[in-house]
Every structure is written in C-alpha cells, then in structure tokens.
Amino acid sequence: MADVPGSFVCNPVDLPYRFQHIRLPDGTSSVHREGADPSIVRFRDRYFAFVSMTRGFFHSEDFVHWDYHHTDVLPAFDYAPDARVVDDALIVTASRMSGTCPFFRSEDPLQHGFVEVSAGSFAFFDPSLFQDQDGQAYLYWGCSPVEPIYATRVHRTTFEPIGERIAVLGADIDAHGWEVPGDAPEPQTEEERAIFELIGGRPFIEGAWMTYHDGTYHLQYAAPQTESHLYADGIYTAPTALGPFTYSPHSPYSSKPAGFINGAGHGSTFQDEYGNWWHASTMRISVNHNFERRVGLFPAGFDADGVLFCNQNFADYPMRIPQGPAETQLNESPEWMLLSYRADASASSSQPHHEPALAANEDIRSWWVAGSAEPGQWLTLDLGAEYAVSAVHINMADHELSDLAPERTDGELTMAGHRAIDPGSHPVQLRVDVSQDAHRWSTISDGVPKDSAHQLIVLDEPRTARYVRVTAETPMPFGAPLALSGVRVFGRGFGTPPDPVTPTIHRDGPTTVRLEWPARPAATGYNIRYGIEPDKLYHSWLVYDQTDVNLHTLNSGHRYWFAVDAFNTNGVAPGPITAEGP
C-alpha cells in the first residue's frame, strides 16, 4: 500500500476527546476536553484506545483516523483504564481507591460490547494486566508518592490474586533526576493543598505497563506527576514477570520536556499490524484544570542490545505512519520543518490578553481568542517568505467554556472534583486558505464539520505560499468564539540549514548538567540529544529562542554524551557528539 497524505499524524494525537464538566468544592468550574493514560492494543485487526475520562473508547482501522464508541457498561469515571488481550479476548479494568475493581471481557467490542466477568477482590490504581508467554497472567498496579508499584500473579478468568503481592519498584530521586517533582501548578483548593503536603517533594510513581521482548521483561512506570512538563516513563527490566527488577540507566525511556506540547508519561507500548513498535503516553496542557491532558504517540523499538527506546526528536512535528515493516531509527530530522514560529499574525478580532501572536508561539498553553462568536472569524499568518507548504496543524483551545456550556446532572464525584463527561459530538468546520500575496487565496481544506481539536491537514503536493488563513465556517462548541492555541505550518524553505554548533558542558551535580552553545543567527531553534552511550542518544530536549539549557533529568553514576542540532525552516544541522568531562 503506497503512502498517502492520510498516513501522517501529529502530536497531540487527534482523537475526538470528550468534554469534561468539572465543579470544584470552592465553587469554580471548568469545561474542557481531556484524555490521558492511553492503553492501546491491536485486537481483531483493529486498534482500540482506552483513555481516561472518555465514557467509552476510541477505535481505528488505519492507526490514523479514530472514531469514538460510547458505552456506559465500562466504568466512566475510573481513571487509567487498562486493556490487554488475554486468551484471545479483550480484558478491561480501571482504577478505584476503595472497594473492588471489576474486570470486563469482550470478543467483539463494537458489536457485542463488554460483560463483567469478575467483580474483583481489591482496589488498585493504574492497573496493567499482562499475559506471559506460557499463558500465566499478572497484574501490576500503583499510583502513589509513598507506595511502590506492586505485582502479583492472577487467575486467567477470574483475575483473583494467586500468591502474595510483591513490591517491584519505587522512587529514587537521589539517583534518578527525572523523577524529581517540578513545575506543577501551585495548589489552590484545600484538597489540592492536602495532596501537596502529602507529596512532600516526592514523585508519584505510577502508570505501570509490562512489555516482553526476546527473553526480557520491560516494566515501564511514570514519574514525577502528570501536571509536569517532565512527566516521563522509565524502565525496569527482569528475567521473569515478577522480577527481580533492575533499573535501566537509559531511563527515562519516554520523555518530551519541551516544544509545543510537553509530557510523555503513563501510557502503553504495543505493536502495529506490521510489527512496528509504538509508545502512547499522556501529554499535558493543565491550564483549565490540572488534569487537562492529551494523548501522544511515538515510534519505539529495541536496539541491538535489547534496550527499549522511543524516537522523540521533533516529537510534535508531523510524522509518517509506515504502511509496512519499518526500521526504527533515531532520525535527527523530521520530514517537514516548522515554518510558522513567531510568524506575524493578524485576526478578524481578538479578546484582551489573547492576541493573534499566541497562535504562533509554539506553546499549547496559550491561545488566541476571537472577539466574536459569529462564524467567519479568521486568523492569518504571514510566514515572512514563500515556502513549500506541506501541512497545517490546527489546534483548538477551550476558552472559558464553563460560562457557556449547559450544566450537566449526570456526573460523579472524582479525585478531580465533581465531573460529568459529555459523550456527544461537537463538530466544527474550519476553512484553510493559502496565498502568495494575501490577495489571491486558494482553499486547501474546506471539508465537512469534524469533531476535532487537533486537526492535521496534509496536502497532496507541496504548495508555494507565504500566507495561511484559518476561518471558522460554523459555530464553535457551546457557541464559544474561535480559540486557537496553535496554527502550525510545516514544509520546507528554499535555503540551507544553519551552521552546526558544539556545546560547552558543565556537570553541576550527580543528576544535573548545564549546556551552552554559540548562537546561530539563521537558526529557529536547537534540539539537544543525549544519552549514556554515544550511539544511544535516546533523550531529546527541543528549545527555541535560547542558547543554553539546564538538564536535571540525568541518572547519577553515568557519563553522558550530548549533541546540539541547530535547525531552521530549511532543515537540521546535526551537531558533533560530545562527551562530558571524565
């Protein structure tokens, strides 16, 4: 099957996220899209994604276009739903703080739904069910700043524990810099302050997921907390499903601390229909609410030494979904470059403190808002020069929707407040035009209304353009004004990449390092790659408008290698791989 424009995706993944209606004890409220803690499996020639606060699940035949399937059989308000194939059936369970956690089974989720096969025997949080090569089943769980992640063998049909639970891993913030909590929003309510005091500077260790490969068991876990840009997944390995487990110094295995959207923790690792490995994880917005989150998708794989890794270089740029077996490589350059960073922006109207420039600053946590809710509002980017435009990534924001959305009465009290989940579709239609002179415009997208917050428009062929305009053709959800957190234009310039750079490295402590490098006037930004072996630079940190960075995500006791790649609209200039001092 030949590659087609539809075989591209861009993070955050464009799932039809459900609107959450949340009321907090202090009287404040929020209405916003949310989806997190993705558990993705391939089952019966289809991909299924079970995501927190969805009131159902998503499914896809092609791994690109996802549909929503509503069900109230599965517990809607239980966080971190886990889905695994056990004995040729799909088994789903989720998190509860008290009582018991039931298990549900299906052989055909779309046609026949799920049935409860076990009421469960104890409460757990962030579960991960796993069936081993010999058919035995195991359960891993844990989500706490004080408790470890546990594991036990369970019955294959009732999922009752067999034997004692085993503590398999916990935090080590002295040795694992990426586990150290940081940048979470300050607590506002009494409940949030109580949780903050409970944490006491400790990370949440959570989000277990087991992957078996070539005789080794890889147990991933997330830290330090979902609201942090450092949210990531680490790995412990073992010779059996119950250990003993050894920390992988290549951790974090999944990390995206910078760029348009941050965070890459608590998710799942799986194979597509061609055997290619992927990792799905949680990405944060955390503006309307701490748990305002999205789903990210990253190529993954095992290297020749059996190390599990993700390719997260330029991880929120469009990426091609392979249409067959593909060799997983740590590509230093994306297929297309970002053309819209700091582009001159203008709009039909704007609200105070939400000016047009906020749609081109590569930060999903800020946005432009039109001054009117009437259809026809528009935002235009002047890229500053003509480029070969290949794709436009349109990211909608949820701006003060609690003042507009009708109150729902079908909610429950959750750890995030009283919450209701809207299962209904809220399609919108956006027209995208391009131009070379801002006078003669060509429409590149004017399709049917779509329930989409992060639409990626891919052109059949690159189009030479300088201006890109997005116009609301229909009303927005709940009659809100058009709000865009990112109009991101991708393609290629007609010049050359910047000159490469070599960093100066200052190791500041066991888990911290400071990098500095000379500015390149032609550079848009820099992508820092690093790792504990020169051919395993499995971590990356992308920055704009700066020529230094403080990395506090290292593992103590290991020497690191670094490369700083300068990039612009024309491409990437890989920097030399440089080791820190002895």
Q: Which residues pair with 472 in a beta bridge?
A: 430
Q: Rounded to an integer, what distance in angstroms lies between the CA atom of residue 38 and that of residue 570?
A: 34
Whether 2 has a pLDDT exceeding 50, the answer reads no
Counting every residue written for the chain, the total comes to 582
pLDDT tens for each residue of 242-273 = 999 999 999 999 999 999 999 999 999 999 99
Q: Rounded to an integer, what distance in angstroms lies between the CA atom of residue 516 and that of residue 267?
A: 33
Helix, strand, coil: what percent of the chain each, to 5? 5, 45, 50
The letter for the amino acid at 241 is A
Cβ atoms of residues 314 and 527 within 8 Å: yes
Q: Rounded to an integer, what distance in angstroms lies between the CA atom of residue 499 and that of residue 489?
A: 23
Using the Cα atoms of residue 66, residue 70, residue 73 and residue 79 in order, give the sign of their dihedral.
positive
Domains and CATH numbers, the chain: 35-320 (2.115.10.20), 337-492 (2.60.120.260), 504-579 (2.60.40.10)
pLDDT tens for each residue of 113-153 = 999 999 999 999 999 999 999 999 999 999 999 999 999 99
Amino acid 582: pLDDT: 64
Specify burial of residue 135 (Cβ count, 10 A radius: 0-12, 13-18, 19+).
exposed
Work out the end-to-end distance of the chain between its first and last CA atoms, rounded to an integer number of angstroms.
50
pLDDT tens for each residue of 67-118 = 999 999 999 999 999 999 999 999 999 999 999 999 999 999 999 999 999 9
Q: Rounded to an integer, what distance in angstroms lies between the CA atom of residue 480 and that of residue 32?
A: 12
Angle at the Cα of 20 (from 410 to 452), degrees rounded to 5? Answer: 125
Please state, rounded to an integer, the average pLDDT across all residues of the chain.
Answer: 94
